[in-house]
């Protein structure tokens, strides 16, 4: 049994060896990965891996036996490490060409941490570069940190897995989706992406199939997607905060069949470059969503000719608040007016009434059954739009050349009553 100080010394010796491999051939001076040493030591201390157990500092791969931690450096296999450990550190000296397989498969509870300059490559493989998949009923709880993934179709595949966390993971130059979540209806939920980016994907930057629960994207960025920037389908409890979506061939953000979805502080610019990817020209597209909120978003079409910033189709209880554009859109919100595809209970609040929309805030009041402007129901015929609670205010003859009339939804919950009480609709 070695004491804790001896084990820390062994760990420092091993990290120094890996740093030397990573910087071999560089000029003398401090190692660019010196901060990683503190990060690794901290992680091991918190995890209790420095306490107890025999340890040797041998240079051969996996002879370290520092608790359950594994280190992957020059000439060492990442796949072998993830098969044997629940905590893996990968240095920039790692080279994917040593692997016997194109796809690194993770099927157990694990944390894999890079040094910020660690690349996992699959330049010619037809499958994903990294795949996270569950093989048991036990939640996987997979965490990937400070890693870059290049190539693959998709670059990163998450399938039937609970409690995944990506932090500072960067996916590049994929031949399909950048990050794909498939078969989520089996068990995928509680997935968090922090400061993760996808660039130059042949298809969608981030693609999520239907059925995922509690999906959270914080500070996520997609650039130059061949499909949509972010494409989420049939998921529940979706939160996107401070995300940046730029220069996609399809929609910047596409949402279909979501329930309880919040988009806050999104920066959406220069998307919808290929008009063939969806007929409605907009940066943000949402269809058949229930409980959708878009708040404090910013849009700029750049040189693309887009009819609107947001296109809503068949959504129920949607809210748009505090959204700004730089210019170039005809409308803030567009949508179909025909029965069946109309939106219901669409609220457009103060802060979105920006004069830069050349033709108005909404393309037509009939894009929504019960359209509200800053909390007031507006309609060509107020009788076609039921109120939601007694005392709600409505405007009849809105969006027409006739004189507008003000009404109040009565206590019976059945009629709009004029302000003087003489007329009901």
The predicted model scores a pTM of 0.83
Question: Tens digit of pLDDT for each residue in 209-257?
Answer: 887 888 999 999 999 999 999 999 998 899 999 999 999 999 999 999 9
Residue 147 near residue 172 (C-beta atoms within 8 A): no
Residue 209 near residue 233 (C-beta atoms within 8 A): yes
Supply 129's token pair.
Answer: 């570069």
Query: How many C-beta neighbours within 10 Å does residue 395 have?
Result: 18
Residue 69 near residue 16 (C-beta atoms within 8 A): no
Tell me the β-bridge partners of 150.
121, 172
The confidence band for 1, taking pLDDT boundaries of 50, 70 and 90, is very low
Residue 219 near residue 197 (C-beta atoms within 8 A): no
| Per-residue pLDDT at 273 exceeds 70 | yes
Which distant-in-sequence residues (6+ apart) come within 8 Å of 327 by Cβ? 300, 356
The dihedral formed by the CA atoms of 170, 171, 177 and 179, expressed in degrees to the nearest 10: -40
DSSP state string for 123-147? SS-SS-SEEEE--SSS---EEEEEE
**Spatial separation of the C-alpha atoms in residues 242 and 263, rounded to whole Å:** 8
What's the average model confidence in pLDDT over 33-61?
46
Which distant-in-sequence residues (6+ apart) come within 8 Å of 291 by Cβ? 259, 260, 261, 316, 317
Q: In residues, how long is the chain?
A: 425
Residue 43 near residue 54 (C-beta atoms within 8 A): no
Supply 48's token pair.
Answer: 């209790």
In angstroms, the first-to-last Cα distance of the chain is: 85
% of the chain beyond a pLDDT of 90: 46
Burial of 401 (0-12, 13-18, 19+ CB in 10 A): exposed
Question: Tens digit of pLDDT for each residue in 332-381?
Answer: 899 998 888 899 889 988 656 555 566 667 888 788 888 888 788 888 88
Supply 335's token pair.
Answer: 């949508």
% of the chain beyond a pLDDT of 70: 79
Residue 333 near residue 360 (C-beta atoms within 8 A): no
Question: Tens digit of pLDDT for each residue in 275-316?
Answer: 777 778 899 999 999 999 999 999 988 877 788 899 999 999
**Spatial separation of the C-alpha atoms in residues 344 and 341, rounded to whole Å:** 9
pLDDT at 45: 53
Tell me how many helices (H) and strands (E) the chain has.
3, 34
Any idea where the domains of the chain sit in the sequence? 1-26+34-86, 375-425
Which residue, chain included where needed, has tokens 């290049």? 150
| Secondary structure string (H, E, C) spanning 247-307 | CCCCCCEEEECCEEEEEECCEEECCCCCCCCCCCCEEEEEECCEEEEEECCEEECCCCCCC
DSSP percent split of the chain into helix, strand, coil, nearest 5: 10, 40, 50
Residue 333 near residue 312 (C-beta atoms within 8 A): yes
CA distances from 32 to 28, 107, 116, 148, 323 (A): 11, 32, 10, 17, 42
Q: For residue 140, which of 107, 170, 187, 167 has the smallest C-alpha distance?
A: 107
The confidence band for 401, taking pLDDT boundaries of 50, 70 and 90, is confident
pLDDT at 138: 58
Burial of 328 (0-12, 13-18, 19+ CB in 10 A): middle
């Amino acid at each position: 049994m070695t004491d804790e100080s001896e084990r820390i010394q062994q760990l420092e010796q091993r990290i120094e060896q890996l740093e030397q491999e990573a910087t071999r051939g560089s000029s003398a001076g401090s190692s660019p990965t010196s901060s990683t040493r503190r990060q690794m030591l901290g992680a091991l201390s918190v995890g209790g891996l420095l306490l107890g157990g025999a340890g040797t500092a041998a240079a051969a791969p996996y002879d370290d036996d520092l608790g359950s931690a594994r280190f992957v450096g020059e000439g060492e296999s990442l796949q072998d490490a993830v098969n044997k450990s629940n905590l893996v550190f990968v240095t920039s000296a790692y080279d994917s060409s040593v692997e016997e397989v194109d796809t690194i498969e993770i099927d157990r509870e694990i944390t894999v941490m890079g040094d910020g300059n660690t690349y996992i490559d699959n330049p010619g493989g037809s499958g994903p570069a990294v795949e996270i998949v569950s093989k048991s009923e036990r939640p996987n709880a997979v965490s990937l940190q400070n890693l870059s993934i290049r190539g693959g179709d998709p670059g990163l595949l998450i399938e039937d897995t609970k409690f995944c966390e990506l932090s500072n993971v960067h996916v590049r130059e994929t031949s399909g989706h950048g990050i794909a979540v498939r078969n989520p209806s089996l068990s995928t939920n509680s997935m968090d992406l922090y400061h993760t980016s996808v660039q130059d994907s042949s298809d969608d930057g981030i693609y999520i199939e239907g059925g995922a629960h509690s999906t959270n994207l914080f500070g996520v960025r997609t650039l130059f997607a061949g499909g949509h920037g972010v494409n989420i389908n049939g998921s529940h409890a979706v939160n996107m905060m401070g995300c940046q979506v730029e220069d996609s061939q399809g929609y910047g953000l596409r949402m279909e069949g979501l329930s309880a979805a919040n988009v806050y502080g999104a920066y959406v610019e220069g998307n919808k470059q290929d008009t063939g990817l969806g007929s409605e020209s907009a940066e943000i597209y949402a269809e058949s969503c229930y409980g959708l909120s878009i708040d404090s978003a910013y849009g700029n079409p750049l040189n693309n000719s887009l009819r609107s910033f947001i296109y809503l189709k068949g959504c129920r209880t949607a809210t748009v608040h505090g959204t700004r554009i730089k210019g170039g859109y005809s409308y803030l919100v567009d949508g179909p007016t025909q029965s069946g595809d109309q939106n219901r209970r669409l609220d457009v609040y103060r802060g979105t009434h920006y004069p830069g929309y050349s033709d108005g805030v909404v393309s037509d009041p009939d894009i929504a059954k019960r359209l509200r402007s800053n909390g007031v129901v507006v309609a060509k015929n107020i009788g076609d739009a039921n109120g939601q609670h007694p005392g709600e205010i409505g405007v009849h003859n809105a969006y027409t050349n006739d004189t507008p009339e003000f009404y109040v939804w009565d206590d019976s919950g059945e009629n709009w009553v004029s302000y003087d009480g003489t007329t009901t609709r």
